[in-house]
Structure 1
Amino acid sequence: MDKIATAVELMRENEFEQAANLFNEYIEENPTDPVGYVNFGNLLMHLGDLERAVTFFEKAIELKDSTATAYYGLGNVYYEKEDFVKARENYLEAIKNGLEEADVFFMLGMAHQNRQEFKLALPYLLRAKELTPNDEEVVFQYGLALAQSELIPDAKKVFEEVLTLNEEHSDAYYNLGVIALFQDDVKKAIESFDKALTINPEHILAANGKRVAEEALN
């Protein structure tokens, strides 16, 4: 496995050709081990060669149909292709076969989000949040799914939680502004939109929200 570890490190250093050579050597030496194929698939996907990546992930599954990371890789390929149904199917297979990392739950939740299946996204995004409570993107997307599911008080708490992780998160302030408008607290809405615009003066949605709030106030 030393070659795999070295190749993964080379990938992190953007030494893709060297990484590919090592993965290829590992596959030649261990042709029935799915690990080499999964890692080569990940490299190909990183390089944007999605079709070849599919071939390597499918080969790993052919060798061992319980290779969870191969299903996760396939899920990512289909997610990139915006085929969220197939992405979801493969993420579920990855979980079924023992992958318990936050990433797979997050991506499964996002596959549902992209299909506007907001309530179906919630348990997966919640699980990702439980596994990585300090990941602001995971926490934010969970809050967004709550808001889109019209669970407004819960969404508000989560967006406030995002701000404890990153007090410069303009989108969290924007969404708190929308919630304040929804709750008829126009002054609080303007305050939240202002904070979003202070952080990001180009935040068009916050600018529009502030205009709507000011019109309501006047």
Structure 2
Amino acid sequence: MRSTAVLPLVLASGLAAADPPASDLDARAHLALGQSYSAQGRFPEAVEHLRKAVEMEPDAAQGHYLLGITYSLMKDTPRATAELERATRLAPGDAGFRYYLGLAYLAAERYPDAARELAESVRLDPGRADARQNLGWALMNLGKNGEAARVLLAALPRQPRNASTWFLLGESLRRLGDTERAIGYFEKAIELDPAHADALFSLGTVYALRQERDKAVSCFERLLAGDPRHAGAHYQLGKMLLREGKVSEAIGHLEKSVQAEPALKGAHYQLARAYRQSGQADKAQREAEIFRRLGSQESGGEGQGGGDTAAAWSDRGWTYARLGRYGKAVDAFRRARELRPDDAPTLRGLGATYGNLERWPEAVEALERAAALSPTDAGAQYDLGRAYAKQQRPREAAEAFERAIRLQDGLTAAHFNLGLARIDLGQRAEAVAAFRDTLRLDPDHAAARFNLALALFAGGDAPGAREQQKALEALDPNLARQLALRLDGGRR
């Protein structure tokens, strides 16, 4: 996913444009001219005057700040970072300085530093919604999706028309496994910005994984209408069409995918399959060779444009997992773990991917370590609870879900899964409470109403169960009919 969440760097407009400089300009005049030139996009002149300003007054934070912003606009991230760090040291209580330093760290992919500065900006100025949004993005890049969701929820009331905030909240929930709620946030982002590429791609990917073919195709086609070269959309459509036996159409999309992103290994693999099925043996052999060569480059890694760092391998793992390529995701996360054994986001990604492969003992081992390293990350506790539940360890699952809820009460999926664990433990009263908490957060949660009705009925509260059945009829008629059969037969 591209880092579209980062807001554009803009100059403050507190100073008016100055007259042409005279030979005896003081620091204030150089500062004004530098800001004016930067606002006009005349960056070399801006840098010249701003550097003179900070030479004259090296302890004036505003000069370093404006110079840092100008370097950011020039895409010179190292120099931008150095100047903004200087400004922040000189004026540590300025929320704006902290914010733009956080953005510079985001541009440099220094996510822990970015999260620290953006969190401080929010603390200094709680009404700053842009800082909350970018803090959410930084936390997501650290794998702290539970914390990110909480931050982004707080940002929404302050910028309810900002499509990227809705998208990021949906993406954080999707990474937590709460795809039902994620879909709603993606749809809201698209309602606000019908051409929002990231929201369309993520929503299409969710629908594809849920086997909702027509909805997935609609998302990818809408995305391509705005961005005809989007490699991911062509790749996803090509895979779907190939599975359906529409080989010629699949080839068209897969060829466009590798043209747009030649290093997209999976697209070369699928294209080789498609060529083979269409009888184009030479082309199939060529694509298979490219696929093997890319695989060799990935496993060698070193010297590939600086891509052999733990962070690079971890990021690659998340990308593969997002595309459903779980075997490659495991390989990437394991490589990242070799380079940095105790990186919590990497361990979370590895554990979640093992879960998608139904390799639950390995998932538990990775997720236990991730939760221990990041004890305040609600998402890590939730993932661990899911893994315990899959291993038929309901008591440990319940404890993990409770920890997640203490950290983030609004995590609906944790309340629901806590209810299921309580049922497995025979704790019906506690299960009822957990399902009611789920419905407090999401009144339209059909599965929670279904299980709440069964728990009430098993506890002797038939009227309460029937009340839930009636409410369920409006949400999911098929599930309501199944519930009626269970209640009429008196079975759990």
Identify the TM-score tier after normalising by the shorter chain.
0.7 to 0.9
Instruction: Check if 1:58 corresponds to 2:56.
Output: no
Judge which range, 151-160 or 127-136, deviates more.
Answer: 127-136
CA distance in 1, matches of 2:91, 2:152: 31
Deviations 1:168-215, CA, capped at 9 Å, x for gaps? 222222222222222222221222212212222212222222222223
Flag the structure with larger Rg. Answer: 2
Q: Which residue of 2 aligns with 1:20?
A: 18
CA distance in 1, matches of 2:47, 2:205: 47
Instruction: Check if 1:92 corresponds to 2:85.
Output: yes
1:178-193 pair list within 5 angstroms: 178-193=171-186
Aligned-pair CA distance for 1:100: 3.5
CA distance in 1, matches of 2:52, 2:59: 12
CA distance in 2, matches of 1:101, 1:9: 16
- For residue 39 of structure 2, the aligned residue among 30, 42, 46 is 46
1:65-84 pair list within 5 angstroms: 65-84=58-77
**Preserved contact between residue 84 and residue 101 of structure 2 (Cα < 8 Å):** yes
Consecutive unaligned residues in structure 2, runs of 5 or more: 1-12, 212-492
Judge which range, 136-145 or 50-59, deviates more.
Answer: 50-59
CA distance in 2, matches of 1:48, 1:211: 38
CA distance in 2, matches of 1:62, 1:197: 48
Q: Which residue of 1 aligns with 2:126?
A: 133
> Is the helix fraction higher in 1 or 2?
1
CA distance in 1, matches of 2:49, 2:57: 12
Instruction: Check if 1:216 corresponds to 2:216.
Output: no
Query: What is the root-mean-square deviation of aligned Cα atoms in Å?
Result: 2.2
**Preserved contact between residue 145 and residue 173 of structure 2 (Cα < 8 Å):** no
- Provide the secondary structure at the position in 2 that maps to 1:20: coil
Over 3 Å counting, the alpha-carbon distance change for 1:97 and 1:182 in structure 2 is: closer
Q: Which residue of 2 aligns with 1:15?
A: none
Over 3 Å counting, the alpha-carbon distance change for 1:190 and 1:98 in structure 2 is: closer
Deviations 1:37-61, CA, capped at 9 Å, x for gaps? 2112111111222112222122222
**Preserved contact between residue 68 and residue 99 of structure 1 (Cα < 8 Å):** no
Aligned-pair CA distance for 1:10: 7.7
- Which consecutive segments of 4 or more residues in structure 1 shift more than 4 A? none
The answer to which structure, 1 or 2, has the higher relative contact order (CA under 8 A, 6+ apart) is 1
TM-score by length of 1: 0.82
**Preserved contact between residue 186 and residue 216 of structure 1 (Cα < 8 Å):** no
Over 3 Å counting, the alpha-carbon distance change for 1:60 and 1:207 in structure 2 is: closer
- For residue 162 of structure 1, the aligned residue among 155, 168, 173 is 155
CA distance in 2, matches of 1:130, 1:10: 27
**Preserved contact between residue 34 and residue 61 of structure 1 (Cα < 8 Å):** yes
CA distance in 1, matches of 2:149, 2:139: 9
**Preserved contact between residue 119 and residue 149 of structure 1 (Cα < 8 Å):** yes
Judge which range, 90-99 or 152-161, deviates more.
Answer: 90-99
Aligned-pair CA distance for 1:121: 0.8
Q: Which residue of 2 aligns with 1:172?
A: 165
Instruction: Check if 1:101 corresponds to 2:101.
Output: no
**Preserved contact between residue 103 and residue 114 of structure 2 (Cα < 8 Å):** yes
Aligned-pair CA distance for 1:84: 0.8
